[in-house]
Structure 1
Amino acid sequence: MNRLQTENANLIAANEELKTSKTDTEEVQTALAEIKEDLDETKMEKSEIQEYLDIERVKNSDLQSEIENCRNEIQEEKEQCLQTTQALTIDLERTEDEKEAIETRMSNNERDLEKLKFENEKCFGREKNSLMVLSGYKSQTEFLSYVLKPDGSESPRTIKIPSSKNGDHYLFASISALIRGKIYIFGEGSNIDYGLRIRMISWCGIKELDVKLNNNYYFGSSVVTAADQQSALICFPDDENFKKCEEFDGSAVSIKPATKYSHRDSCLALYKNQPVAVSSELSDGYKKVEKFDGASWTEMEDFPKAILVHSCIGVFDGYLLLGGSYQENNKYYSIKDVYLLRNSRWTVVGRLNEYHWYSSATRIGNTIYLVSGKKEPFAVEKLEWDGEKISSAKVVNNHSSKFYRPIIFPVDEFYCT
């Protein structure tokens, strides 16, 4: 009996295990069905991905073809560009050769034209072998106007001088320069309110321009014409420094770099085609020499003396300084020496007959005219330059009164007649 009960209990337990196992089997089957469903979906997604990849592969192949085509086109264009560049280079070289040939012909034509012009003027007695002298003093009516002929004789000229509101004559203490064949006058008299003005000499008259300077120029100022005569450098306006500069090209004014030292009552002239200023009346510029290269001023060898109110002029490979006065031990001494700046050295190469202050100098060939300003007897000296020294110096005229920096320029002896 007990054995049967035990077996029955075992059978019941086995039946329960069977039920449990069936349940587990059903769950496994359900899970397998879900896995199969997921697998089918994965297969579908894989198929879609494969289809997408096939499409992208085709696109990539097309893109690679386009890139290759572009590369080929770029290479062709590069080769064409290189050929065009080579052709242009050849044309440019040919053009440069033609340009050089044209410039040479133009230069030769200009020389021939100048020669013909000179010969024509010479045939008619019109060569510029005389000197126009024009200056003013401290009154509206007192001014100087004459032509100095080659023989030293003086021939009066009438120059139409416009009126001025300035109490002094506007030619008094003004400065002048030659630009593109025309004489320009900078500043006016001794009144700083009029020192901005620019005037031009037009045959037998003077007219004022609309353009104005940036600074006031009169006492102590200087000017020099550029080597190509296309402009003038105007420097040392009447202020506390006497260092500023500006340039005028016949129509417009532009500011230029200032000097390091002051150069009041100095003088500007060209040395090897570069403007050079020498010394000053003010102590910070005593003996100081500076040259301008178009961009900046450079200090040079000092002048031997604290010179001022001197004159200067450029000669071939040199710079001549004439007359003036110098300061030493708080005293002023006038000099008649002519100094030459060459190879950065100053040497005495001549001597004047008279003392000269605030004079003006110009050159006609190898003849230098020094027209006196303030110092008596107000002489006009004619100097001959042989390339190394002043070979002769003689007084050819005297003024009746003192003037400051007379306006002088070469003319033919019939100028303004």
Structure 2
Amino acid sequence: MAQMHSLRDWYQANENIMGDAANQRFDSNATKFAARRTVNETDNQTKWDKYLNDCRLDDRLVQIEQWRCELERVLGNADAEINLLARMKDDCDAALAAKAIPESCCAECIGLRGGRLEIDVVKDVVYDELCNEEKLIERVKETLAKRSQEAFTMIMSLKDAKRKVSEDLEGKHHALDINRQALGFHTGSSGLSYIQFELINGGKKIGDCCYWKCDNKKITSFLTENQVKVNSESAICQKTKTQLQIERNYLERTKNELSYEKISFENELQSCKLESVKIRVKQESRILDLENAKKKLTDLVSDLENELNTLKREKSDVFILVIPYRVDRSYMQSSDGSSQISATINAPENNYAKYATHALVNGKLHIFGGTSDYKKIARLDDCTFNELTVRLNEERRNGQAALSIENGEKALICFGFTGNISKTCEIFDGSTTVSTFAADWSHRNGGLGLYKNQPASVGCYFEEHQKAETLSASGWIALPNHPKRISRHSLVGLENESMLLIGGADYGNGGFAARRTVNETDNQTKWDKYLNDCRLDDRLVQIEQWRCELERVLGNADAEINLLARMKDDCDAALAAKAIPESCCAECIGLRGGRLEIDVVKDVVYDELCNEEKLIERVKETLAKRSQEAFTMIMSLKDAKRKVSEDLEGKHHALDINRQALGFHTGSSGLSYIQDLGRVPQGNSTPESWNAYSTKNRDDCEEEIRASIQLRSLIESDITNTANDLEAQRIACEYAFRNRIHEFEQTKSELEWQKTRTEEELREIEAEIRNVEHAITSKAGPQKVCFSRYELRAELPGIEHCKDEPAYGLHNELRELEKSLAALNIRLEEAHNNRDRLCRTLATITHDLDLKLNSLRLDRQCLEVRKKLTVPLYRTPGIEPIMDTLTRTFA
């Protein structure tokens, strides 16, 4: 047999399958959305990167075009400047050549003046001026020669700068052509291809844009140095002005913040001052209150001391606590009887101390018994009666007495209301009660006192005797009788070991008891015959009653035997009728054995079928047992009937004899004395045994009848209950079948829905896989465009091969394309994995759906089989139809 699973496992398996399907669809949806998002993001990123690189190339073209115009302008200015500087150099050379005439004239004049003689050869003004002129001509020639050389050097520098500008301009034209061609590339362009090379940071060295710009700026700055300086100084001034404005604004804002903080601080300081003033006022008020309280307390202490001194000086007095029947009327009585003070005693109820006796135990007042609770023990603590958990051993309602013994450590509690309780005693030690010797005589309301330091009691209210007893270590010992029959008195032990009797009731010395005895004997003689006549008459009544009773019991026994026999036949018929449900149950169990795998489960139907099988066995056992019990009970009833019949025959004979005895009187004939009463037997039995014999026969027979009635009721109840139980079990089984079929149908519908949704999800994920594959393929065009642009821009000459924005943009675009392809490949792999998992889930759902269809078919077959349990019984002769309680029909 296949392994039997639990219903929880079945539900868990269904939940797992449906949960896995839902999770797989959820994961598939997440993968789809992630793939779509990745496709859209990579597509948008690719488009955005191309757009950015187009913008960067366009901006780069604008920059190169600007530099081309600038370089052409600078080149024109350089040509003009070279021509002007050459002409200026020629003018300088001409001016230098023209200085030979003044130089020769000056030399000739100096030579002519060298012909002066003697005293005329002097350093006069003419000599000084000629020397100055000669020096000036030399200085002018040096200056003009220097300027001519500088002009020549500058012309060479200008030509070299012009050459660089020309080369740079040629590179700009080439860069314009290459960048325009790169800008024109798109995914539909021809000649695109992949290339393998290192990007910006590897392989061929690419010039930095800053170097390219610096070379151009060197040329421009060389030509426009003054303008650059002015612009720089202007920018510095503007920057300084801006910084000063910012600092001014910052200082203004700081000033405002400080002003606001100052105002806030002043307000806070003012509030703190007000709060401190309030606190100071409160403290001063509290100090004044404390001083007043201290003064009042000092006065009160002084008054108390004075009153205490007065009380000490006064003479102390003793008060007696009086607790009457009603606790709320308690009071304190002064020892001299001059005054009373009301006392408040707390108790559970107002009559708590009524008829209770009292004694001191360990210095505490205890009360015992009373009408509120016959066994209570309560202790007076601070004007409150607290009932203890320990209880008296006997009920002491009224007339009991208590006495402190053993130096007040224990209490002796004795006597009571009536009976033996009026003789018993017990000892209470504060926590437990122990029974002790009982008195020989009753002493209700006889009191307890100490006589020769031993407990003693005198008299009794109930028996009105004169007995006195004392309790010794071996028990109660009799004392001389009291002269009078007394009770309700108090006993007080004196210091001389005597005992004082105070108050009480006196019932005389006992003379009237004899008169009462005489009257009683006279009356007894008159009443004896009357009583015997009454007894015989009562005896006849008793026998007649028993005769009627036994006849009634005998008739009941006959009727019960017949009823029980018919009930036994019904029980046997009900037992035979259980074969049909037994076969139906076995067939259903056999059919459900065809379930497979996880559907082989201990579900409610399985439990109900097992319960039905067990119920049928139990019903059969019960009915068989009841049938056997009915047979045994019939035999017992017949035996009891025999005994009652014999007893009834004896009752008829006794009636005849007692009627004859009742007819005797003082005038009857045949009367005589009997000298020896012992020779006349009083009887073979006592009235109790006679009554017990008939009672036993009657009770035994009635007990058998009651047992038979009970058995009939049980049999009828069992037949009805077993039928109802089987009907209820049938309804429960079919209800479980219908519920289970409903569960299978729900599970089937859910699995079909899961299968449909999984198939739809599988189609969607396959479409998404194709979409991702198309997205991966579509990245080839932008990648080729980017590679081709990168390859084309690698042909830029010299400094034009620059790490500019387009270069970084193309580099980033290639990286983003690689990331996009990697992300798309990951999404493609996830989609493939999800498709595989969905395929496995779909196979699991399909397999489980087949199992559910098989189980559903088997359970429906079981319901068809169980229809025979509701076949209308009117088709069977002699059996009335029973309505189906579930469908409310006979079919």
Category of TM-score, reference length = shorter chain: 0.3 to 0.5
Larger Cα-atom Rg: 2
Task: State the structure with bigger RCO (CA 8 A, min sep 6), 1 or 2.
Answer: 2
Q: More strand by proportion, 1 or 2?
A: 1
Q: More helix by proportion, 1 or 2?
A: 2
